[in-house]
Amino acid sequence: MRFLNLRVQDFRNVEFAELDLSANRTFLLGANGQGKSNLLEALGLVTALRSFRTQSMSALPRQGCDGSFAAVYEIEHDVEGRTELELHAGKSGRSVKIDGERVSRLGDFIGRFPVVPLSSGDLMLLRGSPAERRRFVDLTLSAIDPSYYHALRNYHRGVAERNRLLKKGGSAAELSAFEAEIAPHAVAVSTKRRAEMQRLREVLIAVYADIAELDEGPELEFKVNAACPDVESVSRMLHDGRKRDEIMGSTQKGPHRDDFNLSLSIGGAKEYASDGQQRGLCVALRIAQARIFQERLGLTPVLLADDVLGELDPYRKAGFWRACPPELQIIATGTELPEASSEWAIWKVANGQFTR
């Protein structure tokens, strides 16, 4: 897919903007704090109605307006052809329309318009908490597999209810009822994660080989918190852990505590990799995500590169272009013109305004 046009109103520092984005390469040029990242953030909402910069949608409306924002996207979709996507969000909730028809369930929307953001914040996939990495995994898998999204949602609902019972001293019968509900969803989530993380590992290794100057032995290790091979095993695990979980006030074992680790031949990337190697790994992980989207969805995602190309050393920058599928539309930002700038459509950004 590719973006053709964007109209956005009252988003971050942008009062109103309309941009022609039909070029294969578009570059947003301007000083820091002018609105470049804000525009990419607006574009990034189309995959799962989630910002790649914050978990709080309340931070997105422009300060001083009525607390809501709107965005209208014209998209050339690989399957559906030319499509208009309309998004409104504010204090009263959010609404999504595709070609004028309202979409009422996120499960019917997520992954339909795949984009992949690359930003300096991706370093948190390496340096941050396990929750950051689980969000990456869950968004990737939810976008390519609706059954995973539904299993994950039901699993988290069940765990939240079990945690509520643990804190208030629920009866054994009440706990058993929720554990019976949780178990099949835990099995589904765990099974799908294992399979898809193995594929992500394979793609990541191939992508990083294109980016890195030498064979640095990249590795992705999926760290399962608790084996969930079947419903009976999960039910027994939850039952046997009740006393511990009652003391802790929450469910201590299960897919909600899975993690993954990135490493190189020298050791764990978080502890031993150089800054350039860490950035290269994070870029490789995002390009691997794009390739997975392309492979599983049969759709060409859009790459949103938020000032990351300027942070790569010359070899890794060249490696980015080697690893990046040439058919992907790229919308990038930076404070200086990119190399081969004649190949890019340039928009200048200042104080939330965009000019050619």
Rounded to two decimals, the pTM is 0.95
CATH 1.20.1050.90 range(s) for the chain read: 121-298
Pick the CATH number of 1-114+300-356 from 3.40.50.300, 3.40.190.10, 3.40.50.2300, 1.20.1090.10: 3.40.50.300
246 in Cβ contact with 166 (< 8 Å): yes
What was the pLDDT predicted at 45?
97
CATH 3.40.50.300 range(s) for the chain read: 1-114+300-356
Which CATH class, in words, describes the domain spanning 121-298? mainly alpha
Distance of CA 91 to the CA centre of its chain: 24
What was the pLDDT predicted at 298?
96
Q: With CA atoms as reference, report the closest residue to 1 among 295, 326, 285, 327.
A: 327
Say how far apart CA 84 and CA 98 lie, in whole Å.
6
What was the pLDDT predicted at 183?
98
If DSSP codes are grouped into helix, strand and coil, which group holds residue 334?
A: strand
What was the pLDDT predicted at 46?
98
178 in Cβ contact with 162 (< 8 Å): yes
Say how far apart CA 45 and CA 251 lie, in whole Å.
31
What was the pLDDT predicted at 315?
86
Say how far apart CA 131 and CA 5 lie, in whole Å.
34
What was the pLDDT predicted at 290?
97
What was the pLDDT predicted at 312?
85
DSSP 299: -
If DSSP codes are grouped into helix, strand and coil, which group holds residue 230?
A: coil
What was the pLDDT predicted at 338?
86
Q: Which residues of the chain register pLDDT less than 50?
A: none
Sign of CA dihedral 229, 235, 240, 244: positive
